[in-house]
Amino acid sequence: MNSRLTDPDRDCTLSGCRSYAADAHNIAPGAISNEALQVVRSLREAGYEAYLVGGCVRDLLLGHEPKDFDVSTNALPAQVHALFRRSRIVGRRFQIVHVRSGRDVIEVSTFRGHHSPDFDEDGDGDEHTDAGSAVRAESGMLLRDNVFGTVEEDALRRDFSVNGLYYDPDTHCVLDFCTGVEDLQARVLRVIGDPEKRYQEDPVRMLRAVRFAAKLGFSIEETALAAILKCRNLLVQIPAARMFDEVLKLLLGGRGEETFVLLDRYGLFAPLFPDTAAALERVPEDRSLLLHALRNSDERIAVGKPVTPAFLYAAMLWPALRHRLQALLEREQLPILAALHEAIPEVISRQVRSITIPRRFATPMREIWELQQRLITRRQPQKLAAHPRFRAAYDFVLLREQSGESLQDAGDWWTRFQTGEEMPAAAERSP
């Protein structure tokens, strides 16, 4: 990032704003999505304010290619929707507009405003103003947050200072209402406002802190980190369906291994995968499988190969399944396949209390697990190799062996079987 960003233009007309002119930063206009620029222009031509905002500005300043581009405006969601024919309003808790431009979808949000000082003074958790409405739970979590305001207010409502940066494509200025530029240069994630209060408003911000720290290689500012250790149990309030999307961002963002290490270190893994966390407490060595699975996924993502959530969830829940399976084998003396068929639905039903696992992922995850013992015993290999989930189950066997499990050399056997070498005799003994 250009070091001249430490010398902002103090003549910015917006209150509390530091403006960095075009010659003071390294954002090349050609690096910005034409579709996003067109959305900004259309809003401005209609008489509204509009800027590029958030992660795209952050990434451009860091010299990274943004994954997507977001726009912030003073136009209300209904006004944005009326302006763009190919658009739709999404979200109830936090209304935004998805504008389709070419093949891209540009996310357009309305400037968020401050809540009134007497918000919820009547105890019903509901605030209504001429600029929108908000609902807060007793815990402080915002259940709906559609109070609108100015760009200055919007900046102070964002999560981290490095995500509170705006870009004006007409003047090519970067607008900073907090300490975003300074924190980018210091590689620090700083929560805007009181971290504890901001986490209470939305506990998912703690997960975002870890995700950005892993993705960007930033440290989490001291007070923000201390608040995570105090507020981490608030994550149990988040609906399981929303948590599924958040966990995919955490583990499938290309920095899954580093993200898991930080989640584990700061006590955020247990609210997400409680049974796995408990199993890891009993057998810390089982972390090896999770680390290997995430490392393998990161490597595949880095070269553009697909990664299925079903396989990753199979790995993340494997320690919990192993623990439950061992209990059934020891206490109830069940045959291994019978114990497996009993343990699998139990583990899944307990996990979905924390994170929803859609059937399109739960079914292949179950099949990967169910095929494990059959791959170890190697009976009817041709039939097994024709199973639609064979490849994923075989990869899972390799993962288990890579992590230190002893599986009667099943991985090597199946590797040679698939390469057409002379097939060894299938194992006939019970495990």
Selecting among 59, 70, 286, 298, the annotated active-site residue is 70
Scanning the structure block, which residue is given the tokens 């305001």?
149
Task: Report the first-to-last Cα separation within the chain, whole angstroms.
Answer: 58
Is 275 noted as a catalytic residue in this protein? no
Task: Give me the sheet containing 165-168, strands edge to edge.
Answer: 18-20, 173-176, 165-168, 50-53, 70-73, 104-110, 96-101, 87-90
Burial of 84 (0-12, 13-18, 19+ CB in 10 A): buried
Selecting among 59, 154, 159, 176, the annotated active-site residue is 159
Is 70 noted as a catalytic residue in this protein? yes
Which of the 8 DSSP states describes residue 123?
Answer: S
For residue 70, the surrounding DSSP H or E stretch is strand 70-73
DSSP-derived secondary structure for 11-42: T-SSTT-EEE-GGGS---GGGS-HHHHHHHHH
Beta-strand ranges (E) seen in 169-235 are 173-176, 188-189, 219-220
Token digits of residue 416 = 């040679």
- What is the number of residues in the chain? 431
Q: Which alpha helices (DSSP H) does 187-335 contain, by range? A: 195-201, 204-216, 222-231, 240-251, 256-265, 269-272, 274-282, 287-302, 309-316, 318-331
CB-CB contact of 113 with 149 (8 Å):
yes
Is 118 noted as a catalytic residue in this protein? no
Position 407, amino acid = L
Selecting among 68, 120, 168, 409, the annotated active-site residue is 68
Which of the 8 DSSP states describes residue 68?
Answer: -
Beta-strand ranges (E) seen in 299-421 are none
- The SS3 of residue 109 is strand
Q: Which residues contact 125 (CB under 8 A, 6 or more apart)?
A: 135, 136, 137, 138, 143
Scanning the structure block, which residue is given the tokens 């369906």?
241
Catalytic residues: 68, 70, 159
